[in-house]
Structure 1
Amino acid sequence: MRALETCLYVDDLGRAETFYSEVLGLTLFGKAAGRHLFYRLEGSMLLIFDPVASSQPGDVPAHAGKPGGHACLSIGREETDTWQARLEGHGLKVTRYAWGNRGESLYFEDPAGNVLELAPASIWGLE
């Protein structure tokens, strides 16, 4: 079993779309104005929801959270320096953490305050 989707909540979908599309370079898969953004990753989906809209009843059960969640996106070990430079080039504060010989994580926040992490799967002993 693996995670199929991860959901984060934001207070401004327009800012989120700019951040996830331009800063992280993700390709938008679909969106509903004022409600959500869907990004297809390698083998999973990243969902970005407006908590007010997603808490309303609809075709799927209502669900909502608050900005301030966490998601880790996988990168290759050799990409850590490049990603750090890219993120800092966009004015983001990046915290780098070493997991012994398993690799390093880059932590930073999206515009809504969600804590994002970029790390190789090797930090969990996965390849």
Structure 2
Amino acid sequence: MRALETCLYVDDLDRAETFYSEVLGLALYGKVAGRHLFYRLEGGMLLIFDPRASAQPGDVPPHAGKPGGHACLGIAREETDTWQARLTGHGLTVTRYAWGDRGESLYFMDPAGNVLELAPASIWGLPG
């Protein structure tokens, strides 16, 4: 079993789209204005919802959360420095944390206050 979807909640989808598309360079897979953004990742999806809309009854069960969640996106170990430079170049405050010999994580926040992490799978002892 693997995680197929990771879901975060934001209060401003336009700001979120700019951040995730331009700062992180993710390709937008689909969106419904005022409701959600969907990004395809390697082996899964990142879903970003406005909780005011996703809490309403519809085709799927209503769900909502608050900004302030956490997601870790996998990067290659050798890309850590490049990503740190990219993120700080966009004015983000980045905290770097070493997990012994398993690798390092970069922690930063999106515009809604979700804590994002970029890290190699090796921090969990996973391949690639």
TM-score scaled by length of structure 2: 0.99
**Match of 2:2, SS?**
coil
Q: Which residue number in structure 2 is paired with residue 94 of structure 1? A: 94
Q: Which residue of 2 aligns with 1:80?
A: 80
Return the alpha-carbon distance in structure 2 between the equivalents of residues 56 and 9 of structure 1.
Answer: 14
- Say which SS state the counterpart of residue 48 (structure 2) adopts: strand
Offset of 1:123 from its aligned partner? 0.1
Cα RMSD over matched residues? 0.2
Runs of 5+ unmatched residues, structure 2: none
Partner letter of residue 6 of structure 1?
T
Q: How far has the Cα of 1:26 moved from its partner? A: 0.1
Residue aligned with 2:78, SS: helix
Alpha-carbon shift at residue 42 of structure 1 (Å): 0.3
Where does structure 1 differ by over 3 angstroms across 4 or more consecutive aligned residues?
none
Looking at structure 2, the residues matched to 57 and 67 of structure 1 have their Cα atoms a distance apart, in angstroms, of: 20
CA displacement, residues 24-72 of structure 1 (integer Å, 9 cap, x when unaligned): 0000000000000000000100000000000000000000000000000
In structure 2, how many angstroms separate the alpha carbons of the residues matched to 1:57 and 1:88? 40
- How many residue pairs get aligned? The number is 127
Matched, 1:54 2:54: yes
State, as a whole percentage, how many aligned pairs show the same letter. Answer: 88
The TM-score with structure 1 as length reference comes to 1.00
Q: 1:118: Cα distance to partner?
A: 0.0
- 2:65 is paired with a residue whose SS is coil
